[in-house]
Every structure is written in structure tokens, then in C-alpha cells.
Structure 1
């Protein structure tokens, strides 16, 4: 029997105040933010997060927005047309995430086009530089149609990621960003099932600040489970949802434990809408077993709550992710 443990967290939303707190004379140092929670991530064989920022660089965006220079270069701006905030982060975040134990990121979310097409590609380049795997956004049509299969100690994980939108920022090539298109999603899941032992869908969906899944979310998760998905890892509401699990037979006759985590909350952010619940997240831990007959299933679920803490220390703002 082969046994692995995987971890999943929700939104990593890099607000300018957090970036500013990591500023050093020679760059940025994000590792202290994750110091207390890193041991819990590192004890897993594989760790997944939702990267809700970009590594667009301090240069021009495709649509002509110039990132501010000097100390304010990472300050959020508003898109001139959509008026949504646009995010970018110093590249130093990527190695900090790697050192903290992360292996994989979903890049499909409503902020993935904040740096335009060039920013999207640069984000993938930075992740690749630090050997962080990713899916949901792509450099090429070929990449977009290649199934993401990751072997972890003899168990093959199939992972797909999708977003409800891009904050009305146009995507010049439809294949660049995976959208919540059920027919496309089911085709992807079918391809993953043919190669993987266990299938995970990372979905950026739902209603912000709502503490339970919408009817549309529930229907979509049920559809995916019927077609063989084992776990849904959700993000976007910015608050925690209950994690639901149940044994369910899919359309292929396989009875497996299905895990519906429709929102894992915020792993890193500042307080949003003056709502303290937006500072809460969790490390969802899934134990996965593959028996001698080759049957793979989720056998145990654990949840460790986390809270983003902000303190003032000698005139400096310090952010930390605190595990319960």
C-alpha cells in the first residue's frame, strides 16, 4: 500500500501593505510571514495553493498601465476600464513559497490577467524558475491542452484549474485562461481520469463573502464528482466554507470519497470589507491511499485553521500566518 498526504490552502492575495512590510534594503523578504505555518505545510508530500497575484514585473502592462515607480511601485491600482484592483508582486515571493513547502499553484483566478498577457506569461516564468508547478493559465495552446499529471511517491495526481472570470479584462487568446465551461471541464476530467490515480479540480468560483456555497457551486461540484473528480478545492469567496465529504459512486461505477471544499478562505491577505472572517483560512490535509489492487481513495481529512495576524513592531508592520 502507498500512502501520501497532500495539503491545500486558499487565496494568497498579495496586498500592497503586505508587500511593503516585507521590504528590505536589498529587496523583499517574505519568509517570516510563513515561518509559523511552514512546518505544517512541509510535513506533507505535496502542497497546493491559489496564487491570487501576478509576477508581472515593475514595467508596462499590455494595456498601457505603468506600475508606479519607487516605494509605491507595488501599490494596487485600478484598471482604467473595469475599475477592479490589479495586483502584482515582487518575484521574491516565489522562492519564499517554495521554501515554506509549496509545490503547486492554481493560477486560474479573476486576477490572473491583471498584468495582461505578458504579465500572465511572466508569472509562469517566475514559477518555473523556482520549480513551482502550476496549471490554469498557459503560454501556448499546446500547454493548455496537456493534462497536468504529477507523480507523488507512486500515486499519480491529475489536477485541473478554472476561474469564473478575469474581472472583465479581455483574454486575447481563449486558451490562455481556463474558464468555468462545463463541457470543457468534463473533457479535461475524462483525459485526467485516463492517466491519473486521483483527480483534483481547483475552482475559483462562488460569491465573495458568502459563508456557504451557492446552488450553482453545488451543482457544478456534483457534476464533477459524477464524472470522476475526487476533490474540489475552491477559492474566491475570501471566507471559509464547511468542508463536506461523502462516499459517492461516479458514472463509471467507482465508489470513492468525494471532498467538496468550496472555499478554503484566505491564506494570506489584509482584512477585506472590514470583515474579520477574511483573515481566516485553513490547511486542508488529505491522506490518500493506493492499495495493492491499484485502487486509490482519500482515507482521511484533517483541517488546521489559520489566521493572518498583523502587529506593529518598533514602528514596522509585521504580517504572520498563525496556525491554530
Structure 2
């Protein structure tokens, strides 16, 4: 009997080794069917596919789709009728704010040095807080994050520049320390003066999404997540986060009724503009699956004006979308992870700061309109500290500016040797796969 147990253990070790080695030699070139949800995985297949994408991100859209042409041909708004009595404001957004064990002073002191002045100089600054803040239950595992307030603080702003105004807490890590962590996260954000949406301490909070007035425009914020990583919400607290199975392979498993209800409620409460933050999509794939694009269009038709997507830990394209009733809307399928912990591939640490100009005005026929007007995108890179550099701390850097400095022979002093090689490669990768004629870049 003992020998059979030894054989079984050796067999499992060999299988595990094959699953690790195979992706390096047999990477997937096109997306394969997956919900990318640990709760709905096929054992073995999920591990292999996740590993192959982690090591070799998939740069092509699914076979048989026209998604690559769809995004390539998307255009920025042209000259339309002149508005009267125009007022504008700026919303800037990022994707995932993920924690690191060492993202505390002094190593976080330079985190926002290169982008903070620009990012926080906006009327509204928005992001996705992808961890729980729970001083009583600290968890630092590969797939679970629950940290202390001192860990969270550097990620939410810098006293020299400002802080986030709104964060989504609807994501697959908000339940990592269970409902107690949901409550403590919301309490912490309240104390920090940061508006939060998507996680709920009580059943009533689910429908009490925030509406913020800026320049006379009432902006509603909604937020939803596709999963809680197979960690069930506490019994009796199923309202803890806004779950919508965005990634479902079958339509019968996708139910957007909560989003539709919230969008209608937002209009009834006087919202002029609805911004919805969606934690969705497939990790390490450059293009969203066709079903996500279709579902995004349906939600824009249902009344949402701007979708800010995150979760794939890699960038996706974005698009302007005109609804059937003539509204001009926007969807960013993935803004990437502006900070990260376990993501080591440089492509995983590439993200975007999007700056959206919102206009309010009067049409020639007297009708009032509030809509996104223009978008400027800043590609960024999360540069990890290096002990051999003079300023060894983590920081978020603008890729194009940094690449230009390297080309001129005046690289920033904080760049590590690997950073000197990586930044020009990332600039080329971004221009090849993510730069679109529909947007401006800086």
C-alpha cells in the first residue's frame, strides 16, 4: 500500500510540474472559453490556462470575431451642434489599486511623485480599491488581501497632491476577510473622507449609491463585481457586495437586473451622469470577450454614460459608443492595475490614467445635455524599488515621458537597470496594441 501512495504522490508532483512547464512551451495564442472565475473553474484546465496567460499574455482577440477591427476603427466624436451655456469639469480614473507588503513609508514615499500632481488635479478622481482594510484580520496570501489602515493609506493619495474622491470596493477581494472586512473597509473610507460604492454594510446600503454634484452636474456612481473568488458572502449578509456574473459563458447565468434598477433609480434621484465601475473581464488578455462587449453596449443603452472596467491586470481597448437614442457614451474595458503585488511581468504593471472632460450645455433646440466630451490617456508603469538605485522606492511613472527621457540620454535617477530596458519596450508595445485614434495621449 505504501508504494502505491508514493507513486500517487510522485504522479501528482509530475502533473503539477507539467502544468507549470507547459505554458512556457505551449502558450495559448488566442483566447479560449473561460469565465475566469475560481468559483466556476474546471480543475486542471483553469490552472493551465491561467498559467499560460500569466507567462505569455494573449495579444489577439478571439478567433471568428471582428473585435480588433472594431476597436481600431472606433473614432473620437466629430464636430457636432454647438452647445450654449457650456460648463465643463474633469474626471480622472485609474484601475486596480492593489497592495504590496512593502508599500509603506519610507518605501512608498515616492509612489505618486511622477503622476500625483496630474492625477489629483481633477474635479473627481476615481479608482478601484482591490483589498479589504481590516486591522483585526490581516491576510497576505497570493489570492487574499486584507491589510491594516497604514498599508492602505499610501495607495489612496498623497498629502502633497490630494487623494481619491471615489473608490469602488466591488471586486473579487473585498470579501477576503469576510463581512467584518467589508464593514471595516467602509468604516475606514468614511473616516478618510473617501466616497465608496459597491460594498454594503447593511441591506439598505445596496441602494444608497452616491450622487456627487460637480459644476452643477449630479454624477451617480455605481459598482459591481463578477466574483468573490469562491469565498461566499456571510450567511445573512448576501448583500455585502454587488455581485453580477459579468463573465458568464451562458446568457442564462448573466443577470444585469440590479444594474438596470440602479441606473433607473439614479435618474429618478436626479442624476445627470451615471458612472459605473465594473470588475469584470479575463486576466492577461488584451481584448475583452465578445460577450462582455455586447453586455457593455446593453448597459450603456440602459442609461449608463461611462463604464470604468478593471480586473484583468492588463490593459484592454476602450470605445466611444452612441446609443440608439443618440447619447454619447464611453466604455473602458480595463484600465489595468496601477499598483500590484504578485504581478511580476512588466505587461501586468502597465496601466492607464484616463482624463475625461464632461460637458454640460444647452442644445440649439433648447434641450439640456450632459455627456463626455474628450478623453486623454496617460499610460503608466508600476516601477518596483531596486536596491542599486539612488532612490529605492516604488513609484508610478508615465511611460511616454520616461521613454522620451531615456531616448534623450537623461533617464530619471530612480530607474533601475531593468527599468531602463523595460520602459522603451513598453512604449512600443502600448503604441502597437493599445493606442487608438479615438483618444488623445500624453
Q: TM-score range by the shorter chain?
A: 0.7 to 0.9
The residue that corresponds to 1:63 in the other structure is: none
Three-state SS of the structure 2 residue aligned to 1:239 is coil
- Separation in 2, partners of 1:213, 1:248: 20
Question: Number of paired residues?
Answer: 292
Deviates more, 1:144-153 or 1:202-211: 144-153
State how far apart, in whole Å, the 1-side matches of 2:232 and 2:202 are. 17
Q: Partner residue of 1:214?
A: 289
After superposition, give the CA deviation of every residue in 1:46-70 in whole Å (9 maximum; x if it has no partner).
010000111111x34xxxxxx4xxx
Which residue does the alignment assign to 2:361?
291
- Counterpart-to-counterpart distance in 1, 2:305 and 2:359: 13
Compute the displacement of 1:37 (Å): 1.0
The 5-angstrom pairing of residues 26-105 of structure 1 reads 30-57=108-135, 59-60=136-137, 67=138, 76-77=140-141, 85-92=143-150, 93-94=152-153, 97-99=156-158, 100-105=162-167
Q: Deviations over 1:16-51 (max 9, x none)?
A: 2x43xx245xxxx74421121111112211010000
1:208-245 Cα shifts (integer Å, max 9, x gaps):
11111112211220111111111110001000011111
SS in 1 for 2:132: coil
Residue ranges of structure 2 left out of the alignment (5+ in a row): 1-85, 245-254, 400-442
Q: Which of 222, 235, 240 is matched with 2:310 structurally?
A: 235
Distance 2:378 2:260 in 1: 31
**In 2, Cα distance between the equivalents of 1:300 and 1:129?**
34
Bigger Rg over Cα = 2
The verdict on how the C-alpha distance between 1:94 and 1:127 changes in structure 2, with shifts beyond 3 A counting, is farther
Equivalent residue for 1:179?
243
Does the 8 Å CA contact 1:232/1:260 hold for their aligned counterparts?
A: yes
Deviations 1:94-131 (A, max 9, x none): 36624343111000000000111111111111111110
Q: 1:310 aligns with which of 380, 384, 396?
A: 384
Q: Confirm whether residue 257 of structure 1 aligns to residue 328 of structure 2.
A: yes
Match of 1:11 among 96, 99, 102: 96
Unaligned runs of 5+ in 1: 61-66, 68-73, 79-84
Following superposition of structure 1 onto structure 2, how do residues 100-115 of structure 1 map, counting pairs within 5 Å? 100-115=162-177
2-side partners of 1:199 and 1:284: how far apart? 17
Comparing both structures, which one devotes a greater share of its residues to strand?
1
In structure 2, distance between residues paired with 1:136 and 1:87 = 17
Deviations 1:136-184 (A, max 9, x none): 0011111111232111121111111000010111112121110114011
Matched, 1:203 2:265: no
Given that 1:15 and 1:87 are in contact with CA atoms closer than 8 Å, whether structure 2 keeps it comes out as no
Partner of 1:64: none
Please report how far the alpha carbon of residue 280 of structure 1 lies from its aligned counterpart in structure 2 after TM superposition: 0.5
CA RMSD in angstroms, aligned pairs only: 2.0
Q: 1:291 to 1:162 in 2, by over 3 A?
A: same
TM-score by length of 1: 0.85
Do structure 1's residue 323 and structure 2's residue 398 form an aligned pair? yes
CA positional deviation for 1:205: 0.5
Distance in 2 of aligned mates of 1:147 and 1:134: 8
Checking the alignment, whether the CA contact within 8 Å between 2:97 and 2:155 is kept in structure 1 is: no
Tell me the SS of whatever aligns to 1:43: coil
SS of the residue aligned with 2:394? strand
Equivalent position of 1:268 in the other structure: 339
What is the aligned partner in structure 2 of residue 118 from structure 1? 180
- Residues 96/109 of structure 1: CA separation in 2 closer, same or farther (3 Å cut): closer
TM-score under structure 2 length normalisation = 0.63
**Per-residue deviation, 1:303:** 0.5
SS in 2 for 1:221: helix
Q: 3-state DSSP class of the match of 2:183?
A: helix
1:247 aligns with 2:322: yes
- Which one of the candidate residues 125, 148, 170 is aligned to 2:232? 170
The verdict on how the C-alpha distance between 1:50 and 1:110 changes in structure 2, with shifts beyond 3 A counting, is: same
How far did 1:313 drift?
3.7
Aligned twin of 2:348: 278
1:150 to 212, 216, 221: 212
Runs of 4+ in 1 over 4 A off after TM superposition: 314-317
